[in-house]
Every structure is written in C-alpha cells, then in structure tokens.
C-alpha cells in the first residue's frame, strides 16, 4: 500500500514539473531510447564545462581553434574585402568573442552586430563590451536557440546581412540536421552571405588525438555532461561508472565522443530508469569532418554556393564564404529579387 502511495506521489510530482523541465526530460529520454543511446552536446556547457572547453582550446592536440585563428589572422583583409562594407553581422551561438572582435575590426563600416545565444547573461555582457569598443555599431543581442526561428529588427543597419558561424560548430550536426540549419541560416541572411569555419578530413590519428588528449581534459569535459544532467534533471548518473572514448567513424566522416558504461548499471532519470549494458556506449557528440567537395555538396543542398575557401598550409581547417544561391530562394525571403511563379507559368 505504502509503495502504491509513493508511486502515485511520484506521478503527481511528475505532473507538477515545470513544462520546460518536462520537455527537457522528455527530450533526454527520447535520446536514451535510441540505439545507440544519445545525449545532446549542449549538456557539455555548464559553468565547469565552458571552462573545460576553454582549456581544450589551449591543448597541443586540439588544433581547431588555433588553426582557424591563424587562417583568420593571415587572411583578414582579404576576407573583409570579399564580404564587403556596411554589414549586419549575425553570429549564431556567439561563444568566443576573440574571432568576432577581429572580424568586426577588419570589416569596412560594420553597421550592426547581432549575437544569438541561449547563454543570456554572457550575451548581454559581451554586447555591452562591443558597444563600448565600436561606437557606431548597433549591437542587438538575441537570447535564443539559433536553430529555431528568431527575429532581427527591420531597420537599415540590419539589412545587408552576413552570418558568421566559426568554430566548426556545424560539425556537431548530422547531414540532415546540418542541411536544415544551413537553410535556416540562409533565410536569416536574406540573400546575403555567410562566413563559416569547417574542419577538414585529415590523418585519423590527428583527429582522434584532438578528442582524446593526453592530459585527459576532453575526458573530463565529456564526463562533466553527466554531472550537468544530474543537476538539471535530478538523475543519478555515476560519472565514475563511465569512461571517455573518441572514435573515428569513417563511413559517416566524423569523430564520435562516447561515454562507455564500465559495467551493467541502472540509471534513474526523472521517474524512469534506463539500463546500460557493460561496455555500452552513450554517444555525447558528433564532430563531422569534411572534404571541400563534401561540404560544397551539403551547402548546395541548403541553397548556398561556395564563394571562396581559405585554408592553412596543411589544409586541416577551412574558413569558407558562402553566397545565397538566388535560384533557390523562395518568394517569402527578401533581400534578393525573385519572381514567384504565376499559375500560368506552370500551366
Ligand atoms: C565546439 C563543437 C567545434 O566538435 O571540436 C571539443 C567541441 N568537443 N572537444 C568540436 C569539442 C570535444 C567542438 N566544437
């Protein structure tokens, strides 16, 4: 009887959960019901995770940040000239500001800067700093998930758009998701252009080492996602019951980060239980790597064409300028003149 009452109590508690919490819980459980089990890489980035990521960027094995910065430094004036003057720069997931400062300083008369991020406090602080440094720049911070629709003011400074998407963040999305996101960003750009950082396929050992460093920082970063989940959802993952693994999936052309269960174990999440077999992997992140051809094909499917590609001498990383392909812009998009087909055109 007491057990039944406790069970009913739990059900009532579940009903009382905040709708946002409920949705979060449901999405985590959905991922854990897949085979292989999955969690979103957004779980890496709590306070500690963000610090660990900053540490990762300094690791000798983690070439991405360093190489991207070297490309930007070396080609900044060329890149700035290629995108043109008077731009409204929109940055989805505006985490690191170093690259943004560099770009804004190099651009000719940037009109506006629109950072879009879910980390709202960080966002306002960064916006304030930029307002002080660039006195003629309109800074309009948007606290939102950049993968969902968000709206940008209609005024003149926001008209001539450049989407800035560095850091190989695109690598976190699988092909279907990436095409959807790139299409969404093309609509955000309204017939403008995009600068995007894309990590390239290279020697397997170099790629694996970047996600499995000798100092174990990436392992700590990966395992920290479980602590974050526990705190947000009240789950009882034991991080000591899992170990970090990075593997190169050649078929899908991606590094996968796994959390591997050391033994058979049961984890409570909300009112549910999830069972892990010994050696079973929970996928915590994909990091896709591209050849220039693969990326151009994917961008093409999203209505972009590749204008220019800048790389380092070893071709480990690339910064690419994408231009909205006008023929694929629907009549609903503005900034590019298109003729909506009239009924007679198809008759
Ligand atoms: C920030 C998504 C580009 O995939 O390389 C670093 C995150 N994961 N080490 C990446 C990450 C493990 C990173 N991105």
Q: Which atom of ligand 1 is nearest to the CA of 210?
A: 9
Section 227-252 average pLDDT = 97
Please tell me the predicted confidence (pLDDT) of residue 8.
53
Section 297-306 average pLDDT = 97
Burial 286-314 (b: 16+ CB within 10 A, else e): bbbbbebebbbebbbbbbbebebebbbee
Section 140-167 average pLDDT = 94
Q: Going by CA atoms, what residue is nearest to atom 4 of ligand 1?
A: 287
Section 166-177 average pLDDT = 96
Residue 244 β-bridge partners: 259
> Could you tell me the pLDDT band of residue 119, with boundaries at 50, 70 and 90?
confident
The number of helices, as runs of H, and strands, as runs of E, in the chain is 11, 14
Q: Which two tokens stand for residue 166?
A: 């560095």
pLDDT in tens, 182-233: 999 999 999 999 999 999 999 999 999 999 999 999 999 999 999 999 999 9
pLDDT value at 283 more than 60? yes
Cα of 16 to ligand 1 centre, how many Å? 36
Decide if 297 contacts 325 (C-beta within 8 A): no
Cα of 107 to ligand 1 centre, how many Å? 27
Please tell me the predicted confidence (pLDDT) of residue 16.
62
Please tell me the predicted confidence (pLDDT) of residue 189.
96
Find the residues whose C-beta lies inside 6 A of ligand 1: 56, 64, 167-169, 171-172, 211, 218, 285, 287
> Could you tell me the pLDDT band of residue 335, with boundaries at 50, 70 and 90?
very low
Please tell me the predicted confidence (pLDDT) of residue 340.
43
Q: Going by CA atoms, what residue is nearest to atom 1 of ligand 1?
A: 169
> Could you tell me the pLDDT band of residue 9, with boundaries at 50, 70 and 90?
low
**Secondary-structure percent of the chain, ordered helix, strand, coil, rounded to 5:** 45, 25, 30
Percent of the chain with pLDDT over 70: 88
Helix (H, G, I), strand (E, B) or coil at 109: coil
Cα of 98 to ligand 1 centre, how many Å? 17
Q: Is the pTM of the predicted complex or chain greater than 0.75? A: yes
């Amino acid at each position: 009887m007491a057990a039944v009452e406790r069970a009913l109590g739990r059900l009532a508690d579940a009903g009382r959960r905040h709708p946002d919490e409920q949705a979060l819980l449901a999405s985590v459980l959905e991922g854990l019901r897949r085979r292989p089990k999955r969690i979103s890489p957004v779980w890496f980035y709590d306070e500690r995770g963000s610090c660990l990521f900053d540490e990762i960027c300094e690791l000798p094995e983690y070439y991405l940040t360093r190489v991207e910065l070297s490309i930007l430094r070396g080609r900044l004036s060329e890149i700035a000239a290629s995108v043109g003057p008077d731009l409204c720069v929109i940055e989805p997931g505006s985490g690191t500001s170093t690259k943004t400062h560099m770009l804004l300083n190099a651009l000719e008369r940037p009109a506006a800067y629109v950072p879009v991020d879910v980390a709202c406090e960080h966002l306002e602080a960064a916006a304030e700093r930029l307002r002080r440094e660039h006195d003629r720049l309109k800074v309009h911070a948007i606290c939102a998930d950049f993968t969902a629709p968000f709206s940008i003011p209609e005024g003149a400074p926001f008209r001539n758009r450049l989407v800035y998407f560095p850091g190989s963040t695109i690598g976190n999305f699988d092909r279907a998701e990436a095409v959807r996101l790139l299409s969404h960003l093309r609509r955000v750009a309204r017939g403008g252009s995009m600068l995007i950082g894309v990590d390239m396929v290279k020697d397997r050992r170099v790629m694996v080492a970047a996600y499995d460093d000798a100092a174990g920082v990436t392992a700590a970063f990966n395992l920290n996602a479980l602590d974050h989940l526990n705190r947000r959802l009240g789950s009882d993952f034991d991080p000591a019951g899992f170990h970090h693994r990075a593997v190169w999936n050649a078929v899908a052309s991606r590094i996968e980060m796994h959390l591997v269960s050391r033994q058979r174990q049961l984890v409570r999440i909300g009112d549910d239980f999830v069972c892990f077999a010994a050696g079973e992997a929970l996928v915590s992140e994909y990091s896709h790597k591209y050849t220039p051809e693969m990326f151009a094909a994917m961008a093409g499917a999203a209505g972009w064409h590749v204008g220019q590609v800048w790389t380092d001498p070893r071709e480990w990383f690339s910064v690419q300028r994408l231009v909205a392909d006008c023929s694929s812009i629907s009549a609903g998009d503005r900034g590019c003149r298109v003729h909506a087909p009239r009924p007679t055109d198809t008759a």
